[in-house]
Structure 1
Amino acid sequence: MALLPLVVANIQDIQTRDNTIERRLVEPVIAINPTDANFGISAVAPGRFVTSADGTKIFAEARGNSSKPVIVFIHGFGIGAMAFNEIFDDPVWLDQAYLVRYDTRGHGRSDKPTTAAAWMSQRLAEDFDAVVQSYSLIKPFVLGWSIGGTHIADILSFHPPNYISGIIYDAAVPDMASLFNVSTPAADALQPGLLTTTNVTQFQATYIEFINLCHPALEWNFYLACLGDGVVQPRAATALLFSRTQNSTAVLDVIAGWQRLNVTTLPGAEHFTWISRPVLFRATVLQWISQNA
C-alpha cells in the first residue's frame, strides 16, 4: 500500500486541555511525504540529520543568534527535542542565545537502535559530538532536562571539562545510578508500565499518567505530540535506556574545581519548568549564562 503525502494545514484556533481557546499564528501549509529521507524537515520545522560515529542518524536543529552564547538542550525520557518548542519559538530566547537541540537516540526523528552495544555511554557522547561538529559549536553550554542530564556524564566521561562552557541541570538526574534515588514515589510507580513489552493497555495508561506528571495542563496539540513521541519509541529501546550504565562519578570528578555554582528554585513550577514558569526560567538561565560566557 502506497503512503500518500500528508498535508499539515494552518491552524488558527487551538483548543487546550482545559477547553479554552488560544489564538496561534497561522503557519504556511506544507506537504510532507512520509517516504522522504528528510521526513519532518521543512522551512517551518528546520533541522538536519547528523551521523554519529556508529552510523546512527540523529535529528538536530539550531535557531537563534549565532553571535551569542550557545546552549545545547538535551531532553528527557520519552519526549524528544520537541519538548523545547516554547523556548525555540520565543523571540527573547532567540535574540539572546544560539539554541541547539537534538532528538537523542531512541527518540523523535532519530534512529532507534535496539541492541545493547548501541546504548553504551560512549555512543551517547558521540551523538553529542556529531551535533557539535555539524554546527561547528565551540564550548557550548549544555542544558540537560530530567533524564537528559545523564548525558552530561556521558559527555564528560570522554572529554576534558573545557569541552563545554557550563552545565544547566533542569529538574535533572545527574547519572543513571542516581535515577531512582532522586525520583518521586509517583514516578517510581510508573516504571513497570513504562517498561512493559507485553501489556499494551498498561503501557498506554502509564505513559498518559507520565505525561500528566510532567505537567497536568499542557496545550492540547502539544500534549498529543508528547504522547506521540512515546509511541514511536520501541519498547526494547526503552528498556535499554533505563538499564544502560555509565561512569557515575564523571561529573563529580570534573566539577570539583568549577566555580559559580547557582541553585535556583522556581516556585510553583511543574516538571516542564519553562512551560509552567516561562519568564522566571528564561531569566534565570540567560542571566547565568551571560555571567559565565
Structure 2
Amino acid sequence: MTSDSKLVASSDGTKIYADSNGNSSKPALVFIHGFMLSAGVFDCLFADEKFTSEFHLIRYDLRGQGRSGQPKSAEGHVSKLYADDFAAVCDAFGSKKPYMVGWSYGCTVFADIAAHLPHDYLSGAIFICGPPYLGAVLEGIVTPDLATILPNLVSDTAPGAEHESAVSAFAGLLFTDTENVPWDIKWSWRGMGAIPPPSSFGFALVREIDAGPLIALGRKGFPLHVIGATDDGMINAQGVLAEVGKYFVKLTSFVVEKGSHAVFYQSRDVVVESITSYLFDYFSLPTVFE
C-alpha cells in the first residue's frame, strides 16, 4: 500500500516511524493521527487511488505511540520535540511547504509547529475532529464521555479492570454504528495503543504548548480548514469552530452530518472531497503563506 517507509531520527535521537504514498511531484499532505493510535488509521485514505494521484501523502507515528520511539519522561514530550519530529519527517521525504492534516489529538501538533518552526513552514492546515492545542481549552471541546475515561487511560496505577474498561469505552467512542465496522478494524485500532505504557500517553496529554504563535498566525491570515462531525463521541465540532473562529480570519469549515469521530474512515468519500475541494480552491492563491 505504501510506497516508502522510514525510521527517521528526530533532534533528540528518538526514532519516528513514517511512510508515504501518492505522487511525490504533487503538493504534500502530512497526516498526524489521534490519541492512543498510530498512522495506520489512515490506511483507507492512503489506498484511495484518486486521492493519491492528486497529492503526496505522508504520515507518521507520534513519539511515544505506535511504531515510534517511546521517551520515558516528560522531558521527552516537550513541545519543541513534537515540532522537530514533524520537520524531520518532512525532511526525510523532501517535503517543502506541506499542508498539515491533523486528526483528533494530532491537530494539536499545529501549535508546536507554529511555536518552533518558521512562520511560513506550512502552506496551510486542516483539522479533522480535533482541538487546536491542549490545556484549559479542552473543557469546551472534549465531550463528557471522553473526559470521564481519560484519567484511567493514562494512569500506570489504575486497576486493570478500570483501565480495560476505559480502553473499551475509548474504542467505542471512535465510531458510530459500531456493529457495521469490520472486526479487524476495531481490533487493530484498539491494538495500536496496547504496546506503549499508559504513562506514555499521559506525558503526551499534559505537555505544555504555547498557543500564542498559533493565535498570531491565525490573526495574520494563515489558512485553516476544519472538518467536524455532528455525532462525534469525543470532540464537540462547534466548540472547535468557536475557539478557532476567535482568531483565524481565514477559516473554512465543513461539518459532516451524522459523522463519527473517525469521520475520515466512516465517511471517507465526503472527507476526501472536502479536503480536495479546499486545497484546489486554495491553489488558486499563492501556495505559501506569507
Asked if Structure 1 and Structure 2 have the same fold, meaning a TM-score greater than 0.5 normalized by the shorter chain, the answer is yes
What's 2:237 paired with? none
Q: How does 1:97-108 map to 2 (within 5 A)?
A: 97-108=55-66
Q: Residue 246 in 1 paired to residue 209 in 2?
A: yes
Q: How does 1:228-267 map to 2 (within 5 A)?
A: 228-258=191-221, 260-267=250-257
Residue 228 of structure 1, CA deviation: 1.0
- Work out whether residues 156 and 197 of structure 2, in 8 Å CA contact, stay in contact via their aligned partners in 1: no
Counterpart secondary structure, 1:143 = strand
Taking a change above 3 Å as real, the CA distance of residues 62 and 45 of structure 1, as seen in their structure-2 partners, is closer
Q: How does 1:161-200 map to 2 (within 5 A)?
A: 161-177=119-135, 178-198=137-157, 199-200=159-160
What's 1:224 paired with? 187
Structure 1 segments, 4+ long, off by >6 Å, are none
What's 1:131 paired with? 89
- Work out whether residues 154 and 200 of structure 2, in 8 Å CA contact, stay in contact via their aligned partners in 1: no
> What fraction of aligned residue pairs are identical, expressed as a percent?
29
Aligned length: 251
Distance 2:276 2:166 in 1: 35
Post-superposition Cα deviations, 1:230-278, rounded to whole Å, max 9, x if no partner, equal 1112122111111110102221111212154211111111001111211
RMSD value over aligned CA atoms?
1.5
1:281 corresponds, among 271, 274, 289, to 271
- Which is worse superposed, 73-82 or 230-239? 230-239
Post-superposition Cα deviations, 1:164-212, rounded to whole Å, max 9, x if no partner, equal 0001011111011222331001111111221221212211111111011
What's 2:24 paired with? 66
Unaligned runs of 5+ in 2: 224-249, 284-290
- Work out whether residues 69 and 289 of structure 1, in 8 Å CA contact, stay in contact via their aligned partners in 2: no
1:270 corresponds, among 239, 254, 260, to 260
What's 2:104 paired with? 146
Post-superposition Cα deviations, 1:124-179, rounded to whole Å, max 9, x if no partner, equal 10000110110110100001111111101001101232110001011111011222
- Work out whether residues 149 and 174 of structure 1, in 8 Å CA contact, stay in contact via their aligned partners in 2: yes
Q: Residue 75 in 1 paired to residue 38 in 2?
A: no
Counterpart secondary structure, 1:176 = coil
The two structures have a TM-score, normalised by structure 2, of 0.83
Q: Residue 290 in 1 paired to residue 268 in 2?
A: no
Unaligned runs of 5+ in 1: 1-42
Larger Cα-atom Rg: 1
Residue 121 of structure 1, CA deviation: 0.3
The two structures have a TM-score, normalised by structure 1, of 0.82
Q: Residue 91 in 1 paired to residue 45 in 2?
A: no
Counterpart secondary structure, 2:170 = helix
